[in-house]
């Protein structure tokens, strides 16, 4: 049963984490030779992409070319919350305790027998799963296929298992004392967003402007020369705007024969040194039941061009780091999907790690690895984290798409992996794109939307590769390689930077989005000019007006300017980055400096485009060892013990009425969070404040607060408080929607309605 086939693997389906490659065709394909080049001129006259408008593609002439590419959903099936099935697991044996192959086979058999096959296939699940109410007679058969990073074993199951069956199998495997961990080997797949197939756009995202990157000024200092950007994706196709900078890559798609179509390599073998994109097209129902027919996306070619398409060649588009080299690493196959174990190996190999399996070490280690993919997962899979850690340890930054699920990025991988730079997507208007994940992201970059897309290299083939062309796409798949390109600029400007230092430079120089960012967009919009300037310690920016006058007064605190003054933001505001923070100005609020932890909390709340708006004071001492700063919509508080958090709305008003940080609650422990049934809550050092539309905001603390929490808090039977604590008959009582809690002489009593 145990087999070690190296790269050419048996065709059992794999556990597949749907990796959202976020791009969608925005226009009909236009051959490279015939396409009027958007934003480029004869070399030496202007900076490519800075001035010339985009030219719309010609009207298609055949029915095949006029049909827009169908939208590709974020992952197989209809409801992502109910998916999670796979036919492959990753098993890591403890170091020094790995049994021989025959013993491992018995471990797999015992676990399979224990897990069995129980339960029905989830809605939208794989057709091979058990029928409703069915319990197949035989336990699943497991076959060891190969190794992935860290010598973990990739083990195939003979049929596709649903989420419950996979969980049962991994639990059974982990019961063996020799097993360090076992986890599903999920499939990761493309997630495109619908788009207007006839709307072409120029490279607005690279040009100067409040919502754009202003790259021409960064290109004066760095163009990515000497850097290597690894594109872990669907592979790459030949293209005149890329070919001169493409290095020999590798193909890590293991699935090559047998089983279902999803994740299939289509090249007849497993791992090999040919990273060409074989096309991820599929017919109706081929990727999962009910899936629509799709044309090939050529996702890897588009992402590569966004990061590093050649410039000054009178052809096509300009990439962010147009003098960097491209390392294509194929990890996604048919249906735009690939296994997490393959992606983990691809990341490690791209950075120069020896992954074994007779794969030669990459002779061109990447400076930065780009992953324009995502899948729902409450934690980063251990095997993927191992691959990321190996890349980071070799000095390569790992930049990942935040994902297109419009949810908190902490529930999405690889955005929730340690050490990565996760990137949300913004529009041409400077707002968070409606599809983009939010919250726990590092920063934001232009990714476009249906109205204005990101223009890059692609291919005109609907299934197999055909002619080279250009098209507009949008999504976090576009935002991620944009930041990967900026990382290449930074590393050229300051080659000694570590991945942690690169991330710090990007975060500390990011600027607020000019528009609203609901949920939070990390540190803000990536600013290549400020980041490269900070990395090289080059100065020379000037200040003026109200921002300049404040800077002159507090120069010793702010340090020297690190960017030009940027205006045209929300409410007509202006902003300028300094060595230690930024100064923001509007006519209504004046100029104020924001820095440190307060700046971070404000940025997480959406910055100037969020509910707090602009600062209306500088930092002030609280008199209790902390600082606070006033904003249009609330204030931010910081202390050494608790960090920074923001207060606003009804919760902020209740906190203020109780004495704020000098009162019984102390400092906040984090920002306000949503609660059940549309309510909200905020935690403090000595209690919490709960708000509900029907009851208002009230503090819950002490023995009564602890009892309420033990009974399920606002999600329990008592629900939200309807008033503050009261003293009655020698007892302290607090009333709730579903009853009351009384405290007297060390005892609490609960009374339900």
The whole-number pLDDT of residue 255 equals 78
Angle at 695 between CA 716 and CA 714, to 5 degrees: 15
User: Has residue 160 got a pLDDT over 80?
Assistant: no
Question: Given pLDDT bands bounded at 50, 70 and 90, which one contains residue 248?
Answer: very high
Across residues 4-30, what is the average pLDDT? 35
Q: Which among 605, 557, 612, 610 has a CA at the least distance from the CA of 582? A: 557
DSSP percent split of the chain into helix, strand, coil, nearest 5:
25, 25, 50
Q: Are 314 and 37 in contact, with CB atoms under 8 Å apart?
A: yes
The whole-number pLDDT of residue 257 equals 60
The whole-number pLDDT of residue 189 equals 61
Using one digit for the tens of pLDDT, what is the confidence trace for 130-147?
333 333 446 778 888 888
Q: How many CB atoms lie within 10 A of CB 176?
A: 20
User: Has residue 42 got a pLDDT over 50?
Assistant: no
C-alpha distances out from residue 65 to 54, 466, 480, Å: 20, 13, 29
Among 80-84, 127-131, 467-471, 502-506, the range scoring the smallest mean pLDDT is: 127-131
Q: How many CB atoms lie within 10 A of CB 173?
A: 24
- The CA distance from 359 to 47, in Å, is 41
Q: What is the mean pLDDT of the chain?
A: 81
Using one digit for the tens of pLDDT, what is the confidence trace for 356-382?
889 999 999 999 999 999 999 999 999
Angle at 251 between CA 248 and CA 254, to 5 degrees: 165
The whole-number pLDDT of residue 468 equals 92
User: Has residue 693 got a pLDDT over 50?
Assistant: yes
The whole-number pLDDT of residue 138 equals 60
User: Has residue 35 got a pLDDT over 60?
Assistant: no
- The CA distance from 389 to 383, in Å, is 10
Q: Which among 720, 595, 724, 604 has a CA at the least distance from the CA of 672? A: 604
DSSP calls for 397-427 = EEEEE--SSSSBGGGEETTTSTT-EEEEEE-
User: Has residue 742 got a pLDDT over 70?
Assistant: yes
Higher-scoring residue by pLDDT: 526, 88:
526
Q: Is 252 left (phi over 0), alpha (psi -120 to 50) or beta?
A: alpha
The whole-number pLDDT of residue 684 equals 96
The whole-number pLDDT of residue 88 equals 87
Among 187-196, 463-472, 659-668, the range scoring the smallest mean pLDDT is: 187-196
SS3 607: helix
Half-sphere exposure (CA, 13 Å, Cβ side) for 469? 23
User: Has residue 13 got a pLDDT over 60?
Assistant: no
Using one digit for the tens of pLDDT, what is the confidence trace for 399-423?
999 999 999 999 999 999 999 999 9
Give me the sheet containing 468-473, strands edge to edge. Answer: 30-31, 468-473, 454-459
Q: What percent of the chain has pLDDT over 90?
A: 48
Higher-scoring residue by pLDDT: 28, 695:
695
Using one digit for the tens of pLDDT, what is the confidence trace for 253-306?
987 665 557 778 787 788 999 999 988 888 888 888 888 898 889 999 999 999
Q: What is the dihedral of CA 330, 336, 337, 343, to 10 degrees?
A: 30
Nearby residues of 137 by Cβ (< 8 Å), 6 or more positions away: none
Q: What is the CA radius of gyration of the chain?
A: 27
Question: Given pLDDT bands bounded at 50, 70 and 90, which one contains residue 84?
Answer: low
What's the first-to-final CA gap in the chain, in angstroms? 62
Q: Which among 549, 547, 580 has a CA at the least distance from the CA of 564? A: 547
Q: How many CB atoms lie within 10 A of CB 461?
A: 18
H/E run at residue 628? strand 627-631
Query: Bridge-partner residues for 153, per DSSP?
Result: 91, 147
- The CA distance from 691 to 10, in Å, is 56
> Is the torsion defined by CA of 498, 501, 507, 511 positive or negative?
negative
User: Has residue 739 got a pLDDT over 80?
Assistant: yes
C-alpha distances out from residue 234 to 84, 87, 194, 524, Å: 22, 21, 20, 29
Among 30-34, 389-393, 399-403, 543-547, the range scoring the smallest mean pLDDT is: 30-34
Q: Are 531 and 493 in contact, with CB atoms under 8 Å apart?
A: no
User: Has residue 75 got a pLDDT over 70?
Assistant: no
- The CA distance from 114 to 107, in Å, is 11
Using one digit for the tens of pLDDT, what is the confidence trace for 431-488?
999 999 999 999 999 999 988 889 999 999 999 999 999 998 999 999 999 999 999 9
DSSP state, residue 34: T
- The CA distance from 333 to 336, in Å, is 5
Is the whole-model pTM more than 0.85? no
What stretches of 70-195 adopt beta strand conformation (E)? 86-93, 142-147, 153-161, 179-184, 187-189
SS3 347: helix
DSSP state, residue 688: E
For strands 673-674 and 680-684, give the pairing. Answer: antiparallel
Q: Which among 178, 177, 37 has a CA at the least distance from the CA of 97? A: 178
Q: Which among 149, 117, 186, 128 has a CA at the least distance from the CA of 339? A: 186
The whole-number pLDDT of residue 259 equals 56
For strands 250-251 and 325-330, give the pairing. Answer: parallel
Among 207-211, 222-226, 277-281, the range scoring the smallest mean pLDDT is: 207-211
The whole-number pLDDT of residue 442 equals 95
H/E run at residue 349? helix 340-350
User: Has residue 524 got a pLDDT over 70?
Assistant: yes
Q: Is 346 left (phi over 0), alpha (psi -120 to 50) or beta?
A: alpha
- The CA distance from 143 to 533, in Å, is 53
Query: Bridge-partner residues for 424, per DSSP?
Result: 444
Active site residues: 233, 299, 477
- The CA distance from 658 to 335, in Å, is 57
């Amino acid at each position: 049963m145990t087999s070690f086939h190296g790269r050419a693997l048996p065709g059992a389906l794999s556990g597949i984490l749907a990796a959202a490659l976020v791009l969608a065709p925005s226009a009909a394909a236009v051959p490279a030779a015939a396409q009027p080049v958007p934003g480029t001129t004869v070399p030496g006259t202007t900076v490519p992409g800075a001035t010339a408008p985009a030219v719309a593609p010609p009207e298609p002439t055949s029915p095949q070319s006029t049909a827009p590419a169908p939208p590709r959903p974020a992952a197989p099936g209809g409801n992502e919350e109910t998916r999670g099935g796979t036919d492959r697991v990753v098993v890591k044996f403890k170091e020094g305790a790995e049994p021989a192959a025959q013993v491992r086979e018995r471990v797999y058999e015992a676990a399979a027998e224990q897990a069995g096959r129980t339960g029905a296939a989830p809605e939208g699940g794989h057709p091979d799963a058990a029928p409703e109410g069915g319990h197949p007679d035989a336990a699943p058969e497991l076959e060891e296929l190969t190794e992935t990073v860290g010598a973990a074993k990739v083990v195939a199951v003979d049929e596709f298992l649903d989420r419950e069956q996979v969980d049962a199998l991994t639990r059974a495997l982990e019961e063996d004392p020799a097993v360090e961990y076992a986890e599903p080997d999920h499939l990761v797949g493309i997630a495109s967003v619908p788009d207007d197939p006839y709307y072409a756009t120029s490279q607005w995202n690279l040009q100067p402007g409040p919502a754009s990157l202003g790259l021409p000024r960064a290109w004066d200092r760095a163009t990515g020369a000497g850097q290597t950007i690894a594109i872990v994706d669907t592979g790459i196709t030949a293209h005149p705007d890329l070919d001169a900078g493409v290095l020999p890559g590798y193909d890590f798609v293991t699935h090559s024969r047998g089983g279902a179509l999803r994740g299939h390599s289509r090249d007849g073998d497993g791992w090999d040194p040919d990273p060409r994109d074989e096309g991820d097209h599929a017919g109706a129902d081929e990727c999962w039941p009910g899936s629509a027919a799709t044309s090939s996306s050529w996702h890897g070619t588009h992402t590569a061009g966004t990061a590093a398409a050649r410039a000054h060649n009178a052809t096509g588009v300009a990439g962010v780091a147009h003098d960097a080299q491209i390392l294509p690493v194929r990890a996604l196959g048919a249906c735009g999907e690939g296994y997490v174990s393959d992606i983990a190996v691809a990341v490690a190999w791209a950075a120069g790690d020896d992954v074994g399996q007779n794969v030669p070490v990459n002779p061109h280690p990447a400076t930065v690895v780009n992953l324009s993919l995502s899948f729902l997962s409450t934690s980063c899979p251990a095997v993927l984290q191992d691959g990321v850690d190996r890349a980071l340890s070799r000095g390569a930054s790992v930049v990942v798409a935040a994902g297109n699920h419009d949810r908190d990025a902490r529930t999405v991988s690889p955005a929730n992996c340690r050490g990565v730079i996760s990137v949300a997507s913004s529009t041409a208007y400077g707002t968070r794109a409606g599809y983009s994940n939010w919250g726990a992201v590092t920063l934001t970059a232009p990714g476009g939307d249906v109205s204005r897309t990101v223009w890059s290299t692609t291919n005109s083939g609907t299934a197999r590769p055909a002619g080279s062309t250009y098209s507009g796409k949008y999504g976090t798949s576009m935002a991620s390689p944009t930041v990967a390109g900026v990382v290449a600029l930074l590393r050229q400007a300051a080659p000694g930077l570590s991945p942690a230092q690169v991330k710090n430079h990007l975060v500390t120089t990011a600027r607020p989005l000019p528009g609203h960012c609901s949920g939070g967009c990390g540190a803000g919009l990536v600013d290549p000019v400020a980041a490269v300037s900070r990395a090289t310690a080059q100065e020379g920016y000037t200040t003026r007006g109200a921002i300049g006058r404040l800077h002159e007064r507090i120069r010793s605190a702010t340090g020297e300017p690190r960017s030009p003054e940027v205006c045209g933001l929300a409410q007509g505001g202006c902003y300028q980055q300094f060595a230690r923070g930024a100064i923001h100005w509007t006519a209504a609020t004046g100029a104020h400096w924001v820095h440190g932890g307060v700046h971070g909390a404000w940025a997480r709340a959406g910055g100037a485009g969020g509910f707090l708006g602009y600062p209306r004071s500088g930092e002030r001492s609280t008199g209790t060892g902390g600082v606070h700063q006033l904003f249009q919509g609330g204030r931010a508080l910081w202390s050494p013990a608790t960090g920074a958090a923001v207060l606003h709305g009804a919760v902020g008003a209740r906190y203020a009425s109780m004495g704020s940080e000098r009162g019984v609650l102390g400092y906040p422990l984090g920002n306000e969070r949503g609660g059940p049934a549309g309510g909200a809550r905020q935690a403090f050092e000595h209690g919490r404040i709960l708000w509900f539309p029907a009851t208002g905001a009230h503090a819950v603390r002490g023995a009564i607060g602890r009892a309420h929490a033990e009974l399920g808090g606002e999600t329990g039977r008592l629900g939200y408080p309807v008033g503050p604590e009261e003293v009655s008959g020698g007892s302290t009582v607090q009333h709730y929607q579903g009853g009351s809690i009384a405290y007297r002489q060390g005892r609490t009593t609960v009374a339900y309605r």
